[in-house]
Amino acid sequence: MSLDRVIHGVRLVDAGTITDRAWVAFDGGLVAATGTGEGWRDLAPREAHDGRGAYLTPGFIDLHGHGGAGFSYDEGPEAIAAARALHRAHGTTRAVISLVTAPLDELATRAAMVAAVAEADPTVLGSHLEGPFLDLDHKGAHTASLLRTPDAASIDLLLEAGRGTIRQVTLAPERAGAMDAITRLVDAGVIAAIGHTSADFDTAVRAFERGARILTHAFNAMRGIHHRAPGPVVAALGDERVTLEIIADGVHVHPGVIRMAMDAAPGRVALVTDAMAAAGAGDGHYDLGGLAVTVADGVARLDEGGAIAGSTLTQDAALRTVVRECGVPLATAVAAATSTPARVLGLGERAGAMRPGFWADAVLMDEHLVVEAVWVAGLRT
């Protein structure tokens, strides 16, 4: 028996545990076998990579990101390729492409564009439409004049344009028609996500009962937790069906609050980047959905009003924040970047773990959780 390649001599972080002296074998773009010790030698791999005691994890999956390396995903296929290369180098082997609010016809064109990219590149998992069905008072970095109610015709136009590749749509459940829109999205196989919202606890509960399954960047662009007005975060924490996105950059959410959320919702927090074009590109002036943004000291803010405008985060940096500053065990943090997003996307039998038959996506990191190597479909990138 001869397989494509083996990565051996690693500390495998997978399925909530860390296994020393582990190895993983890849063949045909899939995980072929795993084990410990020297048993990998019997497989006679064509290529062997000695991990020298580094951490090996499944590839990271980003549910929510807008770009990087100076490019926004909205700009087209070349921009997506450039930004994805940046994030792939930081361990994000597969990602959902998030699109900001735009005129409806233009957003439909962009959804169709992402559908074409996803057909050609299996590491692009489809699109996330963050808008235009958002609340004006919690719009964040979205153009106020373009926000609208989620009527059936608008939903159908976007779904048709996406050709089955729209993964999630973020909306404010308190808007007129939003509950029916959630039902329409769920029936179409799209994840309804709650975010950029003024919804109270009861409204969020009703949205989750309707089928919404993600809380978009929890704590941000929504009501906070108050002891007499708990808001959508508490509603999400109390519903085992709901996954909470968290931007763990040390700016969007305090480390103590991140730890609280991960303790309160074990296995249901997904580490997302919400990265804009400035990720990996440095401080300066940028455009996000037609809005002027200035990045200083790695923090992106709107020129008008000063609201946080996405992040400059990569998922490996998020992992380091959660482990170092929040005190979350490494295996738990890794799950939040791998198995949790895979599960909410319905990929739990193909991604997010190192098991035979799963995608051969892997990230090798040193003791400081700095990426040393990345494999996608069994090939080192």
What is the torsional sign of CA 149, 152, 155, 157?
negative
User: Looking at the domain assignment, is residue 272 inside a domain?
Assistant: yes
Whether 313 shows a pLDDT value over 90: the answer reads yes
User: Looking at the domain assignment, is residue 123 inside a domain?
Assistant: yes
Predicted confidence (pLDDT) per residue in 222-244, tens digit: 999 999 999 999 999 999 999 99
Shared domain check, 308 and 231: yes
User: Looking at the domain assignment, is residue 75 inside a domain?
Assistant: yes
Q: Which of 4, 249, 274, 361 is catalytic?
A: 274
CATH assignment at residue 164: 3.20.20.140
Number of domains in the chain: 2
Shared domain check, 337 and 192: yes
Shared domain check, 96 and 30: no
Predicted confidence (pLDDT) per residue in 103-125, tens digit: 999 999 999 999 999 999 999 99
Residue 229, beta-bridge partner list: 226
- CA 41, CA 52: separation in Å to the nearest integer? 16
Q: Token pair for residue 152?
A: 């059936």
CB-based contact 271:336 (threshold 8 Å): yes
Predicted confidence (pLDDT) per residue in 171-208, tens digit: 999 999 999 999 999 999 999 999 999 999 999 999 99
Q: Pick from 234, 195, 187, 176: which is nearest to 211 by CA?
A: 187
What is the torsional sign of CA 282, 287, 289, 292?
positive
- CA 295, CA 183: separation in Å to the nearest integer? 38
CB-based contact 270:244 (threshold 8 Å): yes
27 given a catalytic annotation: no
User: Looking at the domain assignment, is residue 349 inside a domain?
Assistant: no
CATH assignment at residue 363: 2.30.40.10
What is the domain extent for residue 39?
5-58+354-380
CA angle, residues 90, 362, 124, in degrees to nearest 5: 65
Shared domain check, 90 and 41: no
Shared domain check, 146 and 19: no
User: Looking at the domain assignment, is residue 181 inside a domain?
Assistant: yes
Shared domain check, 286 and 265: yes
Shared domain check, 46 and 69: no
Q: What is the mean pLDDT of the chain?
A: 96
The residues near 236 (Cβ < 8 Å, ≥ 6 apart) are 194, 204, 208, 215, 218, 242, 244, 265
Shared domain check, 372 and 280: no
